[in-house]
């Protein structure tokens, strides 16, 4: 019988940034630990492709549910991600080159390592832009980097429901008008 490694690799933001009260990553890793999986945690920038394999430099980490210090970092290692049973893409965008590169590298993993969320889907349908595929269900909207277009849209819109930077490196605006305002 083939022995499988019980490793869940987590590609996330810095552990110091994790909010234990709101970040669902903590719930996922706690459940994995209950099922006797080791948690290997790394940053997207620490991925590499070498000898036709995908490696991540990171740490094995223990997580705790009810402690102020809710994680303990153990040994650092370069892990061949093919040895993990699962890889969880849990980092927040920016949707930058590190993020995009990570999707291409993770796509190269063998089928024996299941990646959540699918790298192709993450790359092709960024969360903040996915609503454009449902334009018939959306109120009048604008997705742009052009500040002049934003100003024009604001003048013609009575109430803004959302004005949100979509990328940490460059500001892209998403402005929506409520349907209620449209009908008046």
Relative to beta strand 86-89, strand 114-116 is parallel
* Rounded Cα–Cα distance for residues 157 and 26 (Å): 40
Q: DSSP secondary-structure letter at 20?
A: T
For residue 100, give its domain range. 7-124
For residues 170 and 91, state if they share a domain.
no
**Could you please report the per-residue DSSP string of 90-137?**
-PPPP-SHHHHHHHHHHHTS-TTSEEES-HHHHHHS-GGGGGGGGGGG
Alpha-carbon dihedral sign for residues 33, 35, 89, 3:
positive
Under a CB-based contact definition with an 8 Å cutoff, are residues 59 and 73 in contact?
A: yes
Q: Are residues 117 and 138 in the same domain?
A: no
Mean local confidence (pLDDT), 168-172: 50
- Asked if residue 95 and residue 144 are part of one domain, the reply reads no
Tell me, yes or no, whether 85 lies in a domain: yes
Residue 1, domain member (yes or no): no
pLDDT digits (tens, 9 = 90+) for 66-113: 888 899 999 999 999 999 999 999 987 677 788 889 999 999 999 999
With 50 as the cut, is the pLDDT of residue 63 above it? yes
Please tell me whether residues 33 and 68 are part of one structural domain: yes
Is the same domain home to 45 and 115?
Answer: yes
**Same domain membership, residue 152 and residue 94:** no
19 and 38 share a domain? yes
- Number of separate domains in the chain: 2
Residue 2 is assigned to a structural domain of this protein: no
Name the domain boundary from 124, 143, 158.
Answer: 124
Q: Does residue 138 belong to any structural domain of this protein?
A: yes
In a domain, 43, yes or no: yes
* Strand-strand pairing, 160-163 and 173-177: antiparallel
Q: What are phi and psi of 148, to 5 degrees?
A: -65, -40
- Is the same domain home to 144 and 101? no
Judged against a pLDDT cut of 90, whether residue 173 lies above it is answered with no
Same domain, 113 and 179: no
Helical segments of the chain, H only:
24-34, 97-107, 119-124, 147-155, 179-183
Q: How does residue 164 score in pLDDT terms, banded at 50, 70 and 90?
A: low
Q: Is the pTM of this model over 0.85?
A: no
147 and 104 inside one domain:
no
């Amino acid at each position: 019988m083939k022995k499988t490694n019980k490793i869940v690799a987590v590609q996330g933001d810095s552990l110091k940034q994790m909010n234990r009260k709101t970040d669902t990553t903590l719930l996922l890793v706690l459940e994995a630990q209950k099922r006797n999986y080791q948690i290997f945690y790394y940053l997207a920038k620490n991925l590499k492709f070498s000898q036709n394999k995908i490696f991540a430099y990171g740490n094995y980490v223990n997580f705790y549910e009810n402690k102020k210090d809710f994680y303990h970092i153990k040994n650092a290692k370069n892990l061949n991600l093919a040895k993990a049973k699962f890889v969880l893409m849990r980092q927040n965008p920016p949707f930058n080159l590190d993020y995009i590169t990570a999707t291409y590298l993770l796509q190269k993993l063998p089928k024996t390592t299941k990646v959540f969320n699918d790298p192709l889907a993450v790359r092709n349908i960024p969360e903040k832009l996915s609503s454009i595929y449902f334009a018939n269900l959306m109120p009048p909207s604008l997705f742009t980097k052009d500040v002049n277009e934003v100003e024009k849209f604001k003048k013609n819109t009575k109430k803004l429901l959302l004005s949100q930077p979509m990328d940490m490196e460059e500001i892209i605006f998403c402005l929506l008008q409520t349907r209620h305002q449209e009908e008046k």
